Structure 1
Amino acid sequence: MNKSTRLHAAVLALAAITPVAALAGPPLPFTATLRTQETLGLDPGRCTSAPFLQGTTAGSGVASYLGAISGTSTDCISPADGSYNFSNGHMVLTAANGDTLTADYSGSMLPTVNYPVFSLSGSYRITGGTGRYVGATGTGTLQGATNIVSGAGAYTLTGQIAIAR
């Protein structure tokens, strides 16, 4: 094996074992806004604390670097003295070309003076995706409001994203 062949083999081996996240570009500002509709159901398999309530949300909007998006998410909801906590959340944002961005999230919903509207706040962590977003990372906050009777909501995610090169 000559020196050039060994060098190429070493570079290929290193590329094969380098995590995709290590190839992420610099953090960039990220914002997504969505209008959503949530439905509630029981899921004791996924939501392990009583009352085993799962929220399933679908909607559409726009996001930095993705453009027009559709979004889906699921989370576990627990009552907490007039408010609600949501945990074990997982969301998928899908761009028009089919690429996806995934994130985990948690937070709380607090009543407003306009019952049945609750304000929502929490945090998210980007966990990757498909297409251009394989290996994407990032964090941020989510803010919004939801009508706990009709299920209609509007949310904004604000933070940073690092997209793999």
Structure 2
Amino acid sequence: MKLGQELNATYIAYGQKGTEKKKRQATQDSFAKTAGVGVMAQRAVAKASKQYKNEAWDLVDAEKEGSINVEELDEAELPAEMQKMTPKERKQHIEKMAKEREELQKKINKLNEERRKYVAEQRKNSPDNTLDAAIIQAVQEQAQKKKYAFE
């Protein structure tokens, strides 16, 4: 959970859509948090993936994708904390957030891999005591009653 929140801090909303989209991101995180730790962890993993891109509202992704040049953006498009910065400082700030994001994504992905290995090991130790096993067993029992066979 903590890493997911730290990851959110690396997003720099810009433009009219930016603030709204960043709020939506936070709202979705809140929903995930109320759904449970596992859901929140999976959300953090999703945001740490290469597929999670937000160049339409995030300066870090937009700069990385080459869809904007921060030095050419109108000051009003920038978040308040960046409006006072020089173009060079803006670029440095975006680079700093990009590096932080990359490090957090690596940590999240490493922890996820450790979690996956742990869960797989636990399943080996108790394969019949999982939801998957219970569902498979129920389907097989129902299928046998209807004269279906599994190969």
What TM-score range do you get, normalising by the shorter chain? under 0.3
TM-score by length of 1: 0.18
Q: Name the structure with the higher helix share.
A: 2
Structure that is richer in strand per residue: 1
Which of 1 and 2 has greater Rg? Answer: 2
Q: TM-score, normalised by structure 2?
A: 0.20
